[in-house]
């Protein structure tokens, strides 16, 4: 009886994120008065669903796609056409709350069509097929203007559609709560799918397709089902985007959108369910905030992605989880100072690198490089050698101390502990 009670308590503890996170999400919009901030929160919810759907391919099945925006965008276009028809009918038709279901259906439909031939091979072949499909659909969005609306795109009005609960969705806060509801539903469904035999076999196909086939499972069929379901959730995110922005254009199906979801999912951590949630939220926030402060925000994304791939392939959540396990096992005892030293020197190096990048952008892209330029609160002249020397000097000192002093120091302590254990 005591064992059962303990097991039940453990299971309840595992449910706390599903309670705490929604409560935090409900409180968040009341902390901001700005409509822009609330819209940003809504976009984060859409990005989370989109990233979770992509992780069903890359993280769970091992399928690297360069065209996942196809299903996100086509789901958005189909949902927009339905919204426009509702507007034309004077507000009669499908309730606005169910519009994401239409996007999900469209994503599933196109996922089944394109999945019939794209999942026959994995690896590079699959990646190239998805890249070609992405280019095909994006070019079609500029050619077939009756359906896609060309570069201008299509517009619709959410407040002219009926509501199941009589809610007025003109205020952005009400839209946000709808996004939270659909994000929670999608996250629960994707999480439960991971726990099904299909989810386990997807992992088996990812790790060893030959062994999966040997035990009686067809890798192609497993990939196809995962691909179609992933496209369905991507379409759901697209339908939700139509409600938040009331517009959809060719950007919804272009390569940048596919790259953004890949970037967010990988940065967050493809080996963890929480990884795409963290990555989608972070990329959306940085994309909105960094673009307002610097022209080099795309470059920073690229550098962040390269750093994650090279030094932390399990993503940010993987770093936190690894360190947590290590700390719980007592691995941090006597090495906290070394780890903080590495962290601080790394931050110093990053600060110097950012200064150098901003100088370079101003120097090479400005009409007048000698014009005063505010860098980290200090007015500098980009044509002078001093700010360049200071920026590169800080970067070299920071990264140098981290790589050539911090890492050896940590390794010595790890080695000392190992030797002590053997003794």
Angle at 330 between CA 342 and CA 9, to 5 degrees: 120
User: Does the structure show a pLDDT above 70 at 371?
Assistant: yes
Domain with residue 198: its CATH number is 1.10.3470
pLDDT at 35: 81
pLDDT at 419: 42
Q: Does 262 lie in the same domain as 366?
A: no
Q: Does 202 lie in the same domain as 134?
A: yes
Q: Does 265 lie in the same domain as 152?
A: yes
Range of weakest confidence among 16-30, 43-57, 136-150, 368-382: 368-382
The average pLDDT across 49-63 equals: 94
Q: Does 388 lie in the same domain as 291?
A: no
| Dihedrals phi, psi of 273, to nearest 5 degrees | -65, -35
Q: Of 2-16, 17-31, 214-228, where does the model show the most confidence?
A: 214-228
> What are the tens digits of pLDDT across the range 380-399?
888 888 989 999 999 999 98
Helix segments in 31-98, DSSP class H: 35-61, 69-88
| Distances from the Cα of 237 to the Cα of 73, 101, 333, 413, angstroms | 9, 10, 44, 48
User: Does the structure show a pLDDT above 70 at 6?
Assistant: no
Q: Does 240 lie in the same domain as 123?
A: yes
Q: Does 163 lie in the same domain as 24?
A: yes
The parent domain of residue 393 ranges over: 330-422
User: Does the structure show a pLDDT above 70 at 251?
Assistant: yes
């Amino acid at each position: 009886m005591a064992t059962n009670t303990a097991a039940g308590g453990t299971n309840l503890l595992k449910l706390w994120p599903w309670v705490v996170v929604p409560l935090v999400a409900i409180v968040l919009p009341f902390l901001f008065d700005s409509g822009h901030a609330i819209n940003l929160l809504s976009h984060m919810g859409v990005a989370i669903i989109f990233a979770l759907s992509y992780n069903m391919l890359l993280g769970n099945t091992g399928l690297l796609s360069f065209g996942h925006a196809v299903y996100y965008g086509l789901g958005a276009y189909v949902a927009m056409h339905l919204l426009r028809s509702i507007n034309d009918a004077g507000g009669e038709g499908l309730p606005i709350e169910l519009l994401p279901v239409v996007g999900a259906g469209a994503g599933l439909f196109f996922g089944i069509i394109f999945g019939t031939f794209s999942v026959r091979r994995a690896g590079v072949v699959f990646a190239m097929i998805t890249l070609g499909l992405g280019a095909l659909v994006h070019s079609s969005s500029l050619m077939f203007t009756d359906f896609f609306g060309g570069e201008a795109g299509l517009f619709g009005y959410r407040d002219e559609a009926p509501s199941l609960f009589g809610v007025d969705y003109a205020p952005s806060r009400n839209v946000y709560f709808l996004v939270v509801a659909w994000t929670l539903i999608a996250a629960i469904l994707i999480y439960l799918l991971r726990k099904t035999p299909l989810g386990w076999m997807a992992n088996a196909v990812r790790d060893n397709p030959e062994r999966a086939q040997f035990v009686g499972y067809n890798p192609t069929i497993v990939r196809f089902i995962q691909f179609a379901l992933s496209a369905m959730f991507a379409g759901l995110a697209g339908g939700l985007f139509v409600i938040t922005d009331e517009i959809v254009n060719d950007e919804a199906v272009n390569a940048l959108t596919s790259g953004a979801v890949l970037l967010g999912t990988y940065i967050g951590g493809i080996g963890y369910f929480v990884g795409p949630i963290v990555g989608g939220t972070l990329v959306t926030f940085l994309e909105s905030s960094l673009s307002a402060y610097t022209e080099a925000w795309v470059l920073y994304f690229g550098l962040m992605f390269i750093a994650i791939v090279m030094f932390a392939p399990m993503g940010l959540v993987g770093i936190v989880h690894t360190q947590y396990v290590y700390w719980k096992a007592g691995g941090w005892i006597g090495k906290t100072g070394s780890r903080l030293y590495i962290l601080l020197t790394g931050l110093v190096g990053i600060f110097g690198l950012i200064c150098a990048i901003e100088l370079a952008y101003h120097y090479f892209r400005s009409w007048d490089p000698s014009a005063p330029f505010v860098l980290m609160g200090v007015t500098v002249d980009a044509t002078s050698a001093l700010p360049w020397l200071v920026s590169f000097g800080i970067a070299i000192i920071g990264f140098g101390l981290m790589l050539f002093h911090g890492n050896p120091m940590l390794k010595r302590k790890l080695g000392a502990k190992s030797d002590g254990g053997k003794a």
